[in-house]
A and B are shown apart, each in its own frame.
Chain A
Amino acid sequence: MAILKQQSLPSPPKIEKISFLRSSIVEISKVAVLGAGTMGAGIAQWLCQVGCQVELSDAQIEQRERAKDNIFSSWDKLQAKGKFTPAQVISFKSSLLIKEEFSKDCDLFIEAIIENLTIKTEVFQKLSQHFEAKTIMASNTSSIPIDAMARELPKDRQSKFLGLHFFNPAPIMKLVEIIQGHWTDKSIGNNLQAWFQEKGKKPALCQDGPGFIVNRLARNFYGEPLRLARVEDTQRFSEIDDILKEVGGFRMGPFELMDLIGIDINYSVSESVWKSFYYEPRFAPHPLQRKMVTSGRLGRKTKAGFYEYS
């Protein structure tokens, strides 16, 4: 008798692919971006490059000017490398306006300021009275629920409010998560998805949930290797990194990636998602993360993390 006969395993199943119906493309030509830090400046740069007129503002005057200099410098370097023609760069530069107060007739407003719900809510409440009714308002938050920012807005604003989560560096990274809140008009999300697609991004439409798509689905790329390592052991970190790159095909291993992102930032996202899921064990941070953070070994930025950097 064949000893394994009673158990036969099936071939892999096929999952049905579901596509959203794409509606007509929304008209986005004039965009206001608030927050001239790394993300706000990157978003503004990309928008100029795809033909939008962009108004960039920041509470700090020096930050606004610094962002403009950095963006202009980036375009000059890209021109020198042959990525853009001189005529294109002249056009980009003329389309970036540093403003203290935004024009009222912007098609889209993107907030990219500090991750603080109180401050963001105040900004949206104030600017909802400033912009014309047509303006779509969006937050570049990576962790704050869209509905928490939308709930105090007037009803006609709530339907045009959503999340637009860009990834750093925004001019290069293709993904934009388009997060639809409870009140968001579905056609706006679909139209924006088609618009970003047309402009060369890879947009992903999702509902408002902790971590959205990437920061939820990627949690175990860090959490499970931390459990595999269990304790501080550089050789083990290196073994895990090597296997996930060489066998799994990932560009970076989890430990070197956490060092690059910042162990404190990664730990904070892990904690935030874990708490938002009512302490679901799948998202539980690992004591090793806390140990690294409390000892000030935050990764490359402190020259010490899971690895040492000279």
Chain B
Amino acid sequence: MSTLKYTILASKSHPLYDDLKNLGLPFYDLEKDDPFEGKEARYRDADIVFDFTLIDRDRKEKLLDILALQMKAPVVSDLTCLWGEYFIEKYPMLKGAVATAFWGPTNKKEVYAQDDSVFSGIQELFKLLKIEAKRTTGPGHGFIYPRTISLLINEAFLASEDQLASIEDMDTAMKYGVNYPHGLFEWHDKVGSRPILMLLDDLHHVTKDDRYRASTTLRKQANLN
């Protein structure tokens, strides 16, 4: 068990929600609890606060605004689907960012930490979750793996809309033509439509570049499910 005092904030939509909840650490489900109520907020004695909410830009800003007012301890936020570079610059208490909202074929996840002590704190929590931290030089916008795989999956959906080939044949082509570990539709099934759509929409909103325009089918699936 870690020597650091952690506080975990999470939303149920985050893929690590159940694992985090079962760690036995101070845990707040922000869809049920409001740890910010009252004068003596319960998370204030933490050495490090982890935010594992998978929410859009406006709601994340609202959450970080509250944490900025109330927190002394460093905050590490999951910014998989958002413009991490901007958030890090805007919120001085945000000392790190993680990309854990996208399923991946390995147990490694991208992590940005402003200093070694924050990185050690992230590593300790990740050990409990059986995740290995891969440190990056910055969160950029959607990190590296989530952003790249989102674009690849989106193109597969657009090709399907064009009736280029069956889903099965497109997955076969990518696995056996370029040795991808999974077909792009199989990959999508594991990651889920919603995080991919969140990232593409945020990239499109910030850059105004149509290369990030999400497939209609992907959007429909994210909204229907």
Contacts and interface: CB of A to CB of B under 8 A. Distances in A.
Contacts of A9: 11-13, 54, 194-195
Interface string B143-156: 11101110110011
A202 B192 CA distance: 26
Contacts of B108: 246-247
Interface string B127-143: 00000001011001001
A246 B106 contact: yes
Contact of B148 (A5, A173, A220): A220
Nearest to A206: B165
A12 B225 contact: yes
B68 to A, nearest CB: 15
Interface residues of B, number: 78
A4 interface: yes
Interface string A228-269: 100000001001101110111111001000000000000000
Interface in B181-203: 181-182, 184-185, 188-195
Contacts of B110: 243, 247
Interface string A3-21: 1110111111111111110
A206 B165 CA distance: 4
Given A4-B30, A9-B54, A244-B148, A219 B105 contact: no
B125 to A, nearest CB: 17
A266 to B, nearest CB: 12
A2 B32 CA distance: 5
A281 B83 CA distance: 21
Contacts of B188: 12, 15
Contacts, number: 210
A182 interface: no
Contact of A217 (B66, B143, B159): B159
A177 B189 contact: no
Given A213-B173, A220-B151, A11 B225 contact: yes
B210 to A, nearest CB: 5
B225 A205 contact: no
B177 A175 contact: yes
A4 B151 contact: no
A3 B13 CA distance: 14
B95 interface: no
A175 B134 contact: no
Given A15-B167, A224-B147, A246-B134, A284 B173 contact: no
Contacts of A219: 155
Contacts of A202: 172, 175-176
A214 B163 CA distance: 15
Nearest to B63: A3
Contacts of B19: none
A221 interface: yes
A175 B140 contact: no
B116 interface: no
A224 B110 CA distance: 17
B45 interface: no
B170 A204 contact: yes
Contacts of A37: none
A12 B184 contact: no
A16 B190 CA distance: 14
A12 B196 CA distance: 10
A18 B137 contact: no
Interface in A261-301: 281-282, 284
A251 B174 CA distance: 13
Contacts of A205: 165-166, 169
B224 A248 contact: no
Tell which of A5, A174, A213 has the most Cβ of chain B within 10 Å.
A213
Contact of B169 (A206, A240, A254): A206
B164 A213 contact: yes
A223 interface: yes
A212 B119 CA distance: 44
A4 B225 contact: no
Interface of B: 11-13, 29-34, 36, 53-56, 59, 62-63, 66, 104-106, 108-110, 134, 136-137, 140, 143-145, 147-149, 151-152, 155-156, 158-159, 162-170, 172-182, 184-185, 188-195, 209-211, 213, 221-222, 224-225
23 contacts: A4-B59, A8-B31, A9-B54, A12-B189, A12-B191, A17-B168, A20-B166, A20-B169, A174-B176, A202-B172, A206-B173, A213-B159, A214-B174, A218-B174, A221-B178, A224-B151, A225-B144, A239-B136, A243-B136, A244-B144, A248-B148, A254-B148, A282-B155
Interface of A: 1-5, 7-20, 167, 173-175, 177, 202-207, 209, 212-214, 216-221, 223-225, 228, 236, 239-240, 242-244, 246-251, 254, 281-282, 284
